[in-house]
Structure 1
Amino acid sequence: MSLYGALFSGVSGLASQSSAMGAISDNITNVNTIGYKGAQVNFQTLVTKQVSITEYSPGGVQSKPRNSIDVQGLLQATSSSTDLSLSGQGMFVVNTTSNPAASGNGMFAYTRAGSFKVDKEGYLQNVSGFFLQGWPLTPTNNNVLAKPTETTIDGNTYMKAYKDTTGQFHYVNQNIINPQEMKSLNLKTIGGTADQTTQIKMGANLPAGDTVYDPSSTASTGLHQTSVLMYDSLGATHNFNINWMKTNANTWDVQNKTNYFSATPTTLTGTSTEATAVFKVSGDADPITNGSAATTVVPAATKMGFFASGGVIAWTNAAVTANKLPVGAVFDVSAATTSANNGTYVVKTGLQTSAAIATNAAAHAITITHGTTTSTITGCTSNAGASTVTFGTDPGLALNDFVYLSSGSNTGYYKVTAVGAAPTYTLAAADYITVDTQPYEAQRGVPAPSGAAVMNTYDASGNVYGSQGRLDFTVSSRTDVLALNGKSMVFTVNGKSLAVTFDTTGTVTSAAGHEVVIDLSNTAYTSGSDVATLVANALRNPRNWDVTTNASLTGGTVVSLGTTLPLFRANGSSLEMVQQVNGGATTVNVSTLGAYCTQSQTRQWSSAIPSVDTITGTFILEAINQTSSAMIFNGDGTPQTINVGKFGLAWANGAQSMTLVPNGTGADQRITWFVGNASQADGMTQLGGNYQLSYLTQNGAKFGNFSGVSVGSDGVVTALFDNGVRRPVFQVPVATFTNPNGMESLTGNSWIETNISGAYTLRQANNAGAGSVNSASLEASTVDIGTEFTTMIVTQRAYSAAAKIITTADQMLDELVQIKR
């Protein structure tokens, strides 16, 4: 048995060494194959169970091939950015077809051969015909479903997602390899793509030494402006200004404060008798009936007095009722005897009436303001029955003079109705209003840029901090003006609507359905500026919004007199709107204005699933419910509270609106605005020194021609454009295995998993033990030619020795046969 065993043992040696020679031949022939992993043949004994202690039963040898897949090959530099190699553990994921989801075919495999080139369809394909797989990247839309897929690249947040055949985003599951979760990188689809801005990050130092901003002083500090660039979904660029205004110690707001209505920003000139001044409010709701778009609310010949202190105007005309000049009304004074009092004013406090003269028979002191003179007179008495005041010293008043008295008994504004025996005067209690002698209006938030309808500023939770809108009238000729005839704009607050209708015939009067009429019959009106001015005057007139002063509002009052209206003003051909704290949400519908108002093309997301961005011609000037200051700082200059964090825009230039999608899916197209974290100096700070911008970054990209790609060590593929823009578009993941040497090899220098290798784990490159990606380099074969030749010699000798065993055993058998002979 031992001789025959020796023969078979020798045969097993020949077979095993032949196997080893086969591995050596494969290794040598693949010495220049990219990503090739050298094979080795190890040997193990074949043992025959020994049944005797005096005889040996030979077994032989058995070969065990082993691919050293986990051995790192040397990296060699190339000139192609799409040549990829891995330094460390893991493999690229590839597929045999470019679009397995569409074809229903294809097989996923794994490789280290990263010599990828662009095929005729734009896909990255290696020399073996496998297509590179990975995760598409796009700027985050802040959807809650996108959060698990988000990654931060160069300070900007991207999500692993792509749009499916319905146009909706599919958010990638990063743990699964299948045709829905992994896509082939196609460079042809990159060119000419524009990205909207989804993130803005800003850091700056607000000077701690600044005073609270005073707009009336040109030397005032406490206001700093930064211009910010952003991109819409069409790649168009827009600039808007962020104003930081100091409003209290360690407190800053995102707002400006200007003379919004170009009112007269000075104190009144004291005038005891004014008899020629005329007060008019522009923007009457019914200019045809009233004969003018400007309503005379205080007619000429009304006796009145102007008081510098407090900005008070007093009169005794019963026809001038409280609703003639409500709070917030903008009115013009003309033809005043004291010309310095002519100008534009804003009502700060509505009509009030002074108390009638009260009796005080005891001698007492009265402070009296008469014209420009204020003095205190002692020894005065007063009589309620006669409405008289007897002064201790004659103040020299004349009939119809207006005075201000201040005493324990009588304080208020009065008109001299009779001059008695000096120093006794009969005084009638006067009505009065106060005007804002510091007519600086706060414009909270950020002005809407050109092409937008509204720009809202939110805190991180979505509460409204500020809301500003605009209407841009594109009228440029008398023909354009005539085309507006009969068209309307509708403003709705709390379900109540105010329709503003254009009339070029000069015949339309205010009525239900066109509660405010804009009279364009004057042939001098030929421009967008003319239209914007008339509309602004009408909308800022509080009388047009209340049914008590505009009977055409058959549906009821839209905004009551004395309550808060948005600010409206014309700026060239644009109508600017600013929401105020305590103002109601105002829906603006200009859809019927067509080509004559840019905002007739305003787009909004629908509530459907999937949501569709369509032209509605409407937008909302939102109600402010975040009334706290934008930022309050700690004593160390870091933020204590931050109440700004997002921007939302409704576009009217064809771009998708950057708003919250109202379909309950959580999709959010708004811009995230990072200004720092609480108690950290990583954004806005308030320290000594000057205002200094530390950084200002935003993502997004305008249109540009694709010029190439670069690949980072984290596997992020960045598209390069000829306009200098760099945009991450793809991420190459790395698949790792518990036992990579247990994988099954395929033709084309690739492998598939087996039970021995264990299941794959997808990781981001250069993270959690996965290797890093190297661009413009390839991993060389792990074959060492010297080692292979040495092993070949050893194998050859081993093979010869095994053959010698067979010949020797054969000779011994022959000798045994010869014994019989």
Structure 2
Amino acid sequence: MSIFGALNASVSGIQAQSDALGVISDNISNSNTVGFKERQATFESLVVNSGASAGFSPGGVLGDAVSNVGEQGQLRATNNNTDLAIQGDGFFAVKNETAINQDQDTPLKFTRNGQFRVNNEGLLTNTSGHVLQGWQIGPDGTLPADQQNPASLTSVEVDGLSGQARPTSQISAGATLPAQRDPQTAVQTGAGNGNPGDTLNTQFAEQIGGTGINGNSSFDLTIGDGGTNTITLTGIDPTAASLDDIENAVNNLDVSGISSIGGISDSGGDAFSANIQNGKLSIDSEDGTVEITDTGGNGTFGDADPAFVEAAGLVTDTSSPQTGDAQLAQEEFTTQIFDSQGNAHNLNVEFSKTSNANEWQVQLEAPRLSNDAQGAPSGLFSDSAGNTTSVATGTVQFNPDGSLDSFDGFGGFPGVDNPSNDGNLSLNIDFNSGRNATNANGQEITLNLGTPKGGGPNNNAQGRDGLQQADTAFTVDDIQQDGTRFGNFTGVSVDDEGIVTAQFDNGEQQDIFKLPVAQFNSQTELGRESGNIFAQTQASGEPILTEAGVGGAGDIQSSALERSTVDLSEQFSDMIETQQSYTANTRVLTTSDEMLQTLNQAVR
């Protein structure tokens, strides 16, 4: 009888609409759940087959719900760089945190919830307690070979990461030298042998500054035994008005070994007292030091180039002059470099104008610790044979237009080379040879001071990418070096390719993981689990692990989250329809009941 069929159909309708209301309620409650995919109530008709003579038999309806897993939610920006969203197809691969602690082979799960944070174990975990999985990047930047195998994934862990110091290997510097700078006068010394009775007049320095003169001169005197010898030391006439002539007279020197000098006085008439001890006579004044050594009848003077006047018994005079142009620095710059232990050192580069047109002397000073810049060198320039030096000099030439022309020199100093006479100087610094050894010896550094005009790969360099000369004051245009101190871990970031990068407080970065995007042949067949998690099923197929943006996989957006796909206005509309359908089905029940009651009354 169709009345009873109507009753059954209306009951199924009531049940189906009740299920639909449950789906709507679930959607509304998850309207703010990150990465949630809206579910839709579906209805399937039921048909009861009956014979032609039996009349119509209503079947009713069967309710169900499906997820539109592939629907893209809107992305919203956040201030957290570990908030991740997928723009496009695919899922993040995760594992349950509790299950990982019990079994590392726990199966993969999948989610669109990218709200990840570093937990107390250093793992990137989302709000449902699932740990992000990724391919670990090797020290050489490579990924695991079998990326399609889920076993190639490991938990993204950032705990215990320690930064590394990066020793300086490249320095590039640019500076503008003043073209109108007056040339420096080098230290001048006497050369050759003197004759008895000669007067040797030598200018020892033209300029007195805060930096010591880089020159040493010496000469030997051989004095015959016998009578009294008088040696007069006559100083130069300095240009500074505040300096007096230096005049020290050494009288009555007896090389046979007396213990005192008759008298020594300066230009102002002030007397000095001096003693000979162990054959050595030292005379100190504010203007300098003169040393006379009495050994076997020979006297040696050092640290000055005096004039000799009519010295009785003078036999020979030999002089060893300073080689090269030793000058005071006129301009300089300092760059900080780092050894392999992360220690900071200062490397000074000094410039002095020479008497040649458009030419400067360049001097490299061995590095000193940055926190002890005035101390002894912390490292020395060193070659493979173990020879060292603390200073290396060369020259740089400029074209008339101020562009860089060429370099010369440097090749004669251990640990410093310039084989091409260009702006690339090869330095080898042995930090074990200096003060406070750091176990960082033999560090190779390239110092790039510019490309000469007409040089470079295409012979079209302008000669102004490093040192140049101009009619201006000295300026340091740019200094870059690639070393860093030791760094402490500060956090992680994720780029659009899914690369997880560790960041350190020394500015260093280290790529540690790459995140895959998991795809499925039939993603609508994925099973749903609590925590906005999807699980692989037989119907969904195996996960296809793909790099972000490759093979149809979506892109990973950092500092962003995917909103729920629930549309509240649509849910309210569906709710009204569900309510109306539910009410209509109850009316069928009421009507069927009334019809049955009428039938019962008719029987009576």
Normalised to the residue count of structure 1, the TM-score between the two structures is: 0.37
Structure with bigger RCO (C-alpha 8 Å, 6+ apart): 2
Computing the radius of gyration from Cα coordinates, the structure with the larger value is 2
